[in-house]
Amino acid sequence: MNYKIALIRGDGIGPEIVREAKKVLDKVCDIYGHTFSYEEVLLGGASIDVHGVPLTEEAVETARSCDAVLMGSIGGDARTSPWYQLEPSKRPEAGLLAIRKQLNLFANLRPAYLYEELKDACPLKEEIIGEGFDMMIMRELTGGLYFGERRTTVEDGVETAVDTLTYNEKEIRRIAVRAFDIAMKRRKKVTSVDKANVLDSSRLWRKVVEDVAKDYPEVALDHMLVDNCAMQLVHNPGQFDVILTENMFGDILSDEASMVTGSIGMLSSASLNETKFGLYEPSHGSAPDIAGKDLANPIATILSAAMLLRYSLDLDKEADAVEAAVQKVLKGGYRTGDIMADGMEQVGTKRMGDLIAAEI
């Protein structure tokens, strides 16, 4: 089959890790007889350098014309990069927020699991790890504090800043449906996380989630306060299957969860809209300090490409093949620096991509 994929190489290590993911996709095409054509799209710092803004309308249109978007990572070192001399709305991250909103990518899926092979990298003790853990975080991505009205005003010489956290029933319902759908294909458990003892938006969240749950009698639904969830992720991560939460809480909890696995260089993500279209990117950042040194771990991006095959192109067999290839290379003892351990063979970004492509 023919597909069109937008590539956002991005900043920092972005170009290197996208290059390796594309290498793996090319191999998939060879083996399974598909043709992928690629469109380059600029976002973040790379777009600022060329166009002066982190996202152009044209870039959004190009992305929209494709079947899916594969992204590296964006942003730079805020302390030293000239991008951060610009006002906040013109910085690299603003481009990412804008493309999420404009493409209506409201459902952000972030898997967080412990790789058997990488147990040593997990910061938690053996007895906390227990049987291991495998969660899917479903984060709402186009609402809440991220996209509410905000303003900074001065009165009597005193500055005041206001941000607003807004959710309506429809926004909550569509993300909840996604979470329950995913739970049906997993261990059938949803933990909805909110701060319903304080926020009106959380009380509405809880009510709508309860309502959606009625259509999924097989799924066990739990509500958890966000402060408690931040504790439970460290205390007993094995209890979670699908975590469903709003934008800001999801930002915080998904980063915590990915660190708890010890494998942040391994974790992929998908941001989906109401159709099959989605944007796929690693959970980690752009690591400007190691950019261009062949040190970055391309696996999270390669696994994001696997998610792209699965969710946007319905190519399950091909996605399975990519995931199996990653597994084999890990079993073979190959590691990038970030996940290096005693007795393993350390390889660079490029070599890791070659090894995985070769296993397809």
Active site residues: 146, 195, 227, 251, 255
Q: Interface with ligand IPM includes 260 (CB under 6 A)?
A: no
Candidates 325, 322, 308, 318; CA nearest to 5 is: 308
The CA distances from residue 84 to 57, 271, 284, 318, in Å, are 22, 26, 20, 40
Q: Interface with a second copy includes 290 (CB under 8 A)?
A: no
Site residue total, a second copy (CB under 8 A):
58
CB closer to a second copy out of 148 and 348? 148
From residue 36 to residue 75, what is the string marking binding to ligand IPM with x (rule CB under 6 A)? ----------------------------------------
What is the separation of C-alpha 195 from the centre of its chain, rounded to a whole number of angstroms?
23
The CA distances from residue 299 to 21, 66, 95, 303, in Å, are 8, 23, 24, 6
CA-CA-CA-CA torsion sign (242, 245, 247, 249): negative
Cα–Cα distance, 262 to 116 (Å, whole number): 11
Q: Interface with ligand IPM includes 93 (CB under 6 A)?
A: yes
Q: Interface with a second copy includes 181 (CB under 8 A)?
A: no
Q: Interface with ligand IPM includes 251 (CB under 6 A)?
A: yes
Q: Interface with ligand IPM includes 96 (CB under 6 A)?
A: yes
Q: Under a CB-based contact definition with an 8 Å cutoff, are residues 6 and 66 in contact?
A: yes
Q: Is 288 a known ligand-binding residue? A: yes
In b/e form, how buried is each residue of 199-225, taking b as 16+ CB within 10 angstroms?
bebbebbbebbeebbeebeebebebbb
Q: Interface with a second copy includes 256 (CB under 8 A)?
A: yes
Site residues (CB under 6 A) for ligand IPM, limited to 198-227: 198, 227
Interface contacts to a second copy, rule CB under 8 A = 88, 91, 93, 97, 122-125, 128, 145-146, 148, 150-152, 158-170, 195-201, 203-205, 226-228, 230-231, 233-235, 248-249, 251-256, 258-260, 264
Annotated binding site for substrate: 100, 110, 139, 227
